[in-house]
Chains A and B, each alone.
Chain A
């Protein structure tokens, strides 16, 4: 009886101590457990991990997951602790913040040959800091405008299907108004549906800063307001003074404000699944929504390129993978992170999630991205894609500018909101 109890206890302890992904193959060296911090349902996925473990039988994994909304807070606390996770799956635009704080390990020496030529330029820019690459990147996303074909057909609207024919924002507004059904501000069917990101309210930098950036011109004189409007932050990341409150930006923001107020074609609060439930004619989202609709077409739908004022632009970026500088197993963790982004592993990870790859060589392997409607995302990424303003202070910039954009969407004065935002961002940058 005593032996039985001991056996049960020993078995239970062994089961409790087993990591999430223990290796199946025989390990001849020292066993290593890599600790991964990621958001639920995110990569690295089980299939590529298991495949990788066949070549690295001594490596097992312990995975901790936190919701995306708490990810940055958790990284703040865990990454600076005495025993940080080995691998972080984090929001890509924070790369420079984490690199500057010394949290991330530079991965240059681990990158495979040919990586620099194969990676999308926007991804490389976003994941680099002071000449070093801190994340190889796995996937890339951008947004385009989905539409409910039944509703647009009924309204006699035929949205453009190529970048060359993309609408300007005034043209898009005319379409929103023609398609919307009901009283402006509280219709039964909205012209432009709310975002699914965050709490559903407008203002997110990822989705909404492109209104004003598209009113700028990257080819204009660097001292001109048109140039500053496009970049929305000094290209060297030193200041935002004069970059957010240009005349072009204010004009674009007045238009943006009108969508939620005087025109009443977009809601100020989130409505879960509004587009998929047929409660919105148009809707801005990433390729993930298109892939979900391809699998389960709950509505008849199409995709049109993002509208613009003067210069078409879409933001790039996604969650990405990095290695902590103080990892006790930095070499093997770096090898794992880089492998997950390269070749077959990268294909398996991207295929599972449904976003776009970061490697140009992988695009031909995704047939859905070779033709309309999903090809629009690839074309946009290639021709219009820009990272959100890269800076070691992006987290602060993101929060402050989101608050400013939101206050404009709620009816606030664009000039006042952007001047306040510039002051606050510069205060954060001075530290």
Chain B
């Protein structure tokens, strides 16, 4: 027994340095592969974040950054003293809510449709994905024409039905909704493809067992498919919310943030503050607050929609 133990120990002692060497070599190889990416991440993500945090306590313009003054937390107190951030965040949250509320059910319904035994499924998928891969500039220009208050196609249909023309993009009450609808139209294909991936991962046996037990199609959908897709739903909700909070193109290309700041989405507001208003310190402070908000929302959504089922 003792001899055996000694022999094993000596084997282990002989193996351990080998294993350590191998582990060190593996770590070095992994670091060598990861280093370029980590370096890029450091240079293009974390350093700018650190600079942004530093700039958020300065008052300076991009025209003359050398004249920057330290102002402590004034840029942050300005957010409370003036209404611009509150108004912009309110518009952005409403926009994000509108996009998520439209995209999630519609994307899911399209995914169900695509998951069925459909002829020319590839063609339908392409049609649904087309807006996703179309340039934001093209989409915005197209919707500008569609929503034109005088000669737009939508107003043409509305007046043909005997209804009054609608100032879609020129009314503070309608512009944000229209911009949300346009964005949802562009993103719904992406959500549908994500849901489709989730649907195709749901085991058929569960639905078949339920059907044998007498469940209707609706019951299967409600009690099996939707709960099992909670991870996918979480992913789509988080992605769509973050996309919406980062939206820039609709405000920049369609409305200039108006009318009366009703579509002044926060990222566009930050751009305008830095480049047009030449208040880069305040823009950095706004960016920092947005970062915290996006992180907070993502964590909250992940906690609320955390999966309780595994398959």
Contact = CB atoms under 8 A, between A and B. Distances in A.
Residue of B61, B159, B165, B169 ringed by the most chain A CB atoms within 10 A: B61
Interface in B142-173: 144, 148-151, 155, 159, 165, 167, 169-172
B277 A407 contact: no
B260 A412 contact: yes
B275 interface: yes
Contacts of A269: 144, 148-150, 169-170
B151 A411 contact: no
Interface string B42-84: 0000000000000000010111111100000000000000100
Residue of B149, B257, B259, B261 ringed by the most chain A CB atoms within 10 A: B259
Contacts of A428: 277, 279
Contacts of A222: none
B276 to A, nearest CB: 5
Contacts of A72: 275-276
B301 interface: no
Nearest to B71: A431
A98 B63 contact: yes
B197 to A, nearest CB: 39
Contacts of A412: 172, 259-260
B60 to A, nearest CB: 9
A360 B137 CA distance: 44
A194 B155 CA distance: 19
Secondary structure type dominating chain B contacts:
loop
A399 B63 contact: no
Given A186-B150, A199-B256, 15 more contacts: A101-B64, A185-B149, A186-B155, A267-B149, A268-B170, A269-B144, A269-B150, A269-B169, A403-B257, A406-B258, A410-B259, A417-B260, A428-B277, A428-B279, A431-B279
Contacts of A267: 149-150
B278 interface: yes
A427 interface: yes
Contacts of A185: 149-150, 165
Nearest to A409: B170
A268 B167 contact: yes
Interface of B: 59, 61-67, 82, 144, 148-151, 155, 159, 165, 167, 169-172, 256-261, 272, 275-279
Nearest to A182: B150
B258 A97 contact: no
A154 interface: no
Interface string A399-415: 10001001100111000
Contacts of A116: none
A186 B165 contact: yes
Interface stretch (A46-54, A73-81, A231-239): A73-81
A297 interface: no
A103 B65 CA distance: 11
Given A403-B256, A407-B258, A396 B167 contact: no
Interface residues of A, number: 33
Interface in A250-290: 267-269, 271
Contact of B259 (A80, A97, A395, A407): A407
A103 B64 contact: yes
A269 B170 CA distance: 9
B64 A411 contact: no
A390 to B, nearest CB: 17
B150 A103 contact: no
Interface in A184-230: 185-186, 199, 201
Interface in A58-91: 72-73, 75-77, 79-80
A102 interface: yes
Residue of B148, B171, B258 ringed by the most chain A CB atoms within 10 A: B258
Contact of B63 (A79, A199, A406, A407): A79
Contact of B62 (A76, A271, A406, A407): A76
Nearest to B260: A407
28 contacts: A80-B63, A80-B65, A98-B63, A101-B61, A101-B63, A101-B64, A101-B67, A102-B67, A103-B63, A185-B149, A186-B150, A268-B167, A268-B170, A269-B144, A269-B149, A269-B170, A395-B277, A403-B256, A403-B257, A407-B172, A410-B167, A410-B172, A411-B170, A412-B172, A412-B260, A417-B260, A427-B82, A428-B277
Residue of A77, A269, A395 ringed by the most chain B CB atoms within 10 A: A269
B150 to A, nearest CB: 4
Interface in A94-143: 97-98, 101-103
Nearest to B279: A431
A410 B170 contact: yes
A396 B276 contact: yes
Contacts of A75: 63
A189 B276 CA distance: 36
Contacts of A79: 63
B236 to A, nearest CB: 33
Contacts of A427: 82
A97 B63 contact: yes
Nearest to B155: A186
Contacts of A80: 62-66
